[in-house]
Amino acid sequence: MPDEKEKRMHRCFFMGHRPEKLDAGAEEVRAWLEKEIDRAIADGYTTFISGCAMGVDIWAGQIVLGKKADHPSLRLIAATPWPGFAARWTEEWKRQYDSLLKGADLVYTVSDHYHEGVFLQRNRWMADHSRRLIAYFSGAPGGTKDTVDYARAQGLEVVVSTTGPKPKKKHRSKADEPARPAYPENLLADIGFEAVFGQNSFVPLSPDRLAGLDHVISLLPGREQELLRLRYREMRTLQECGDRFGFSRERARQVLVKSVRKLRHPSRAAFIRDGYRKAELALMIKCAESIKKNLLAERRCRPMMTEEDAVKFAFQGMLGVGHLVPSESTALETLRAEMSGLEADPGEKLTERISPQWFRLNLRAAKARGLKEEDIAYMLCRSAAIKPLDFTRRNVYNFCVKLDGSERMKSAARCILDESRLPSHSDIYREAYRPAYRVLHTDFIKLRPGRHEDPEEEDGTDPESSQRENPDE
């Protein structure tokens, strides 16, 4: 049996841009890839590794599978970043991705979940287990170039296309960048003084307004918080920001633009303009009014609803998921077990809003509409990580008692004051309505089969895109 070192001498992997970043047509790219794959086969390479991304990776894998008839000894390894990697691609690309995995001799999954460095981890794994790299790209900074540089540093044979997309313009150095004001004025200038203060000039922030700014930044994903810190507090260049996370200057700019756009939203800008305490109180009052309205509508729709069920509704509307989700894999395992026993029901409503922050996703309706369990588990974990408003269990109790001062309501609501307990549905409600749902953040309320709208996407060149893909491939 050959050892790993010997196997590596006969392995080759692929890297390249996604289709929208190529200025050559698909047929031209495929022709170049086929020529280089034929050359690799002639040089004794028998195992090829595809990173499974749209474009070059998938095309190269398809060419290798097509040559198996004439070269039975060829093997294809599909190195996919995480399960469900292609869940939100277009149907055509998902079909090609699934076909590639089905035809591969081995499918290697780099990580059991998405994380910020998963593409770098996949690229390094392919390079560390290969002897040659075939890359179709322009030479522009990004994930592909970083992998090409890494492969050369490791002594791999590197074959790079000469017909790829045009290289990007040279980036400015830190000395070339115009002087910027200090934090927080520089960040507020990009958010827009008009959006925050209602005037086209900077207003010094009081401690409470600074607390409001810190609060809205804390609502962003960890990577976006770190990028804002590097760019605005430490005054780093875009290239330096990108280098911290292993992606290009342009990708750093895209993520920062997206982050600033979120801070510009009126509900978040209010924390900066009015200060943390005033804005939070206003939101909490609005949230309580919304829960009351939705709860009354729920009682009309489900007359068998008891005080216990009303308490649970209020609890979820104020505190959200209400418990920590250990991990996406655990959430997915539990979800699969529950959904396997559910009968799909297209007649039921898919979503039911509880409050401005939270809604219930009906699992039977989700199953009927083709929502994937991986997507639901992903949304659940992201929702659990989002900080709810500053409601306490005592707030929930007072809300319920004020809504209905009966002894039965007081008795049902007392469980909330016990930190070790969570409210549950009554037996009457369970028997009448068979509740099967997950509480999700309203960022995910626009759902469609096989895809969900996620404001925190890890996408490519278009910050509004909903495809989570490597921006630098």
Sign of CA dihedral 342, 348, 354, 357: positive
Residues 266 and 305 in one domain: no
Q: Are residues 427 and 301 in the same domain?
A: yes
| pTM as predicted | 0.51
Domain that holds residue 357: 287-452
Do both 199 and 254 map to the same domain? Answer: yes
**Whether residue 419 sits in one domain with residue 300:** yes
The gap between the terminal CA atoms of the chain, to the nearest Å, is: 35
pLDDT reported for residue 473: 35
CATH of the domain at 100: 3.40.50.450
Tell me whether residue 169 is in a domain. Answer: no
Closest by alpha carbon to 164, among 145, 190, 187? 145
CA atoms of 427 and 431, how far apart (whole Å)? 6
222 & 129 share domain: no
HSE value, Cβ hemisphere, 13 Å, CA-based, for 84: 19
CA neighbours closer than 13 Å in the CB half-sphere of residue 101: 18
Which residue, 371, 316, 331, 380, is CA-closest to 348?
A: 371
In this structure, the answer to whether residues 34 and 151 fall within a common structural domain is: yes
Q: Give the whole-angstrom CA distance, residue 79 versus residue 105.
A: 11
* Residues 330 and 399 both lie in one domain: yes
Domain with 179 in it: what CATH number?
Answer: 1.10.10.10
Examine the domain organization and report whether 198 and 334 are in the same domain.
no
Q: Is 303 exposed, middle or buried (0-12, 13-18, 19+ CB in 10 A)?
A: exposed
Residues 179 and 212 in one domain: yes
**Quick one: 85 and 200 in the same domain?**
no
Nearest Cα to Cα of residue 339 among 299, 370, 298: 370
Burial class (CB in 10 A: 0-12, 13-18, 19+), 322: middle
- Structural domain includes residue 32: yes
> Per the domain annotation, does 466 fall within a domain?
no
Q: Is residue 117 part of a domain?
A: yes
User: What is the distance between the alpha carbons of residues 307 and 243, in angstroms, rounded to a whole number?
Assistant: 55
Instruction: Note whether 246 and 337 are same-domain residues.
Output: no
CA distances from 448 to 384, 388, 457 (A): 21, 25, 16
Angle at 446 between CA 441 and CA 449, to 5 degrees: 115
When computed from its CA atoms, the radius of gyration of the chain, rounded to whole angstroms, is 26
DSSP conformation class of 99: H
Q: What is the pLDDT of residue 326?
A: 67
Residue 282 lies in a domain: no
Structural domain count, the chain = 3
Residue 279 is assigned to a structural domain of this protein: no
pLDDT means over runs of 10, the chain (473 residues): 74 85 80 93 93 92 93 93 87 92 93 83 92 85 83 90 52 54 87 79 85 87 89 90 86 92 88 86 89 93 94 92 70 90 91 91 92 88 81 92 91 89 92 93 66 36 31 33
Q: Is residue 462 part of a domain?
A: no
Q: Is residue 281 part of a domain?
A: no
Predicted confidence at residue 50, as pLDDT, reads 95
Whether residue 179 sits in one domain with residue 155: no
